[in-house]
């Protein structure tokens, strides 16, 4: 029984056994495990797969970062859109109040009435400048070529003296916030003249 190996003793491999395993692909490892070339090839494939997953994850994270930055920038610029849209009615009412005082009545008005009209005009200018601080700009396209992106045509005016498609009357001014239309300008457009360039 001295010739038999003890089951608890580790199997010792010689340098020749290890060298043979690396040079002969069909050889088994001395411990009876898988072929080292196959193991190495599997590890390389796994490594390649993990590198690919890592690169995809990094690209996804970069896209997410850019999208988040864009959304935050949009929220800063366009976050007040609903509030600004509501305030446009106030601006319109101020303008209507000023325009409803006839010019001849202004000239012969009492000093108190003149001060009231001047105060309304000052309030309108101040309100417009406050809107501009938040990126809201007034559109007054009279005399310009009709642009369906920022204007809404309510009617056509026969006018041979102006190129067809020119804004000849602004019924209600439009407003932009940043690069977006907050409210399109409501306009009257010329018809019958030469075609616009």
Maximal CA-CA distance, the chain: 134
Secondary element (H or E) of residue 167:
strand 167-172
Rounded CA separation 131/148 (Å): 24
Give how far Cα 96 sits from Cα of 17, 117, 171, Å.
Answer: 101, 12, 11
Q: Report which secondary-structure segment, H or E, holds 136.
A: strand 136-139
Nearest to 193 by CA among 142, 145, 140, 139: 145
By DSSP bridging, strand 151-158 and strand 136-139 are: unpaired
Tell me the per-residue pLDDT of 115-148, one tens digit each, with 9 for 90 and over.
888 899 999 999 999 989 888 999 989 989 999 9
Q: What is the pLDDT along the chain (197 residues), one digit of tens a residue?
A: 444 444 444 444 455 554 454 555 444 455 556 788 888 999 999 999 999 999 999 999 999 999 999 988 888 878 888 888 888 989 999 888 888 888 787 778 788 888 888 899 999 999 999 989 888 999 989 989 999 999 999 999 888 888 888 999 999 999 999 888 999 999 999 987 667 55
pTM score, whole prediction:
0.59
Q: CB of 21 within 8 A of CB of 36? A: yes
* Per-residue confidence (pLDDT) for residue 32, from 0 to 100: 56
């Amino acid at each position: 029984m001295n010739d038999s190996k003890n089951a608890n003793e580790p199997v010792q491999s010689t340098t020749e056994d290890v060298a043979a395993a690396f040079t002969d692909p069909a050889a088994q490892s001395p411990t009876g495990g898988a072929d080292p070339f196959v193991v190495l090839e599997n590890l390389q494939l796994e490594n390649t797969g993990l590198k690919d997953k890592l690169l995809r994850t990094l690209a996804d994270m970069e896209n997410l970062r850019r999208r988040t930055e864009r959304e935050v920038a949009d929220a800063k610029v366009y976050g007040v859109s609903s509030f600004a849209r509501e305030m446009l009615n106030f601006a319109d009412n101020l303008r209507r109040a000023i325009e409803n005082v006839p010019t001849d009545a202004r000239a012969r008005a009492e000093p108190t009435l003149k001060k009231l009209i001047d105060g309304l005009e000052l309030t309108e200018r101040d309100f417009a400048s406050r809107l501009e601080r938040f990126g809201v700009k007034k559109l007054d396209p009279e005399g310009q070529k009709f642009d369906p992106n920022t204007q809404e045509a309510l009617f056509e005016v026969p006018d041979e003296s102006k190129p067809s498609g020119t804004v000849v009357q602004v019924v209600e001014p439009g407003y932009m916030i940043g690069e977006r239309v907050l409210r399109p300008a409501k306009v009257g457009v010329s018809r019958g003249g030469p075609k616009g360039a």
